[in-house]
A and B are shown apart, each in its own frame.
Chain A
């Protein structure tokens, strides 16, 4: 085995005596290597999370430096009984995430299957898939504002060709949330495509060949052979995309601005918590919202991963 190593690499280390600090460093390499990064993340996370929990139990508002007093679970009580802003925001978060995920997984699966077997021009299609993924979300929001503009936007002109009347898209109170979900679908379906494609190409060939010999239809092979084998990858895609979709901020803020629009029509939990923190400086209540939000995220992740263990 040793022959593969170029001799000149090893030689100096053998001849020079190892100084004490170097021996110490080698013995403690594990923590020496992992320590700084972990310390950085821990300081930037653990302290803020602890502080958020603390703030959620106080009446902090106005300025982050202002005096605050401990008020127990008062903020949580306020938040959980708030049917005006909080619960609608929960509803929008669930609706946005659910719709975006559903479309992204279904469309992502369809496109991944289209790309599965090699074809001419594959390179171009793959490049096209990458573009929405890397495009800056704020710019994407602005771009769709122009395309979906009720008066000058291309979207309504295109609908006109098919005899469909103009839609309010982002400007409608009822349509805005689903329109932003569709923008999320445009930007992030490619992510699901890439993940599922990676999963598809790593599947074994034999079961498909066996099914082909058995004279199955394409749909039957997908339903009873491909999909079950691909299920773990599908769950990974849902998990990764779900964590980001539930926290969507850029697209919502770029298209509708503060408070999720004049009627809070796209105000999800994340946008609501941001507004409470930085537009209204209601730090105590904002922190309570954030703690609940975090529990919702962890809770849904837990449900998904529990499901995954059952499947495998």
Chain B
């Protein structure tokens, strides 16, 4: 089994209320060294066999049409990932 990982992040100029909430909670818990948090999404797309270039191209396409909304989000990574044995 192969796996393609797609990471999607809110665009820098778009307000990220979730990230702000997490940042405030971190500060409350004493992690004051973190000055900002942005919260994104990670998708794991599984395929039979090794990840091919076709898989990656399809994942990029899916990332642009469904997994992200380009108005508010950037696809920051589409990559094959080594799948550990036993999972």
A, B in one complex: no
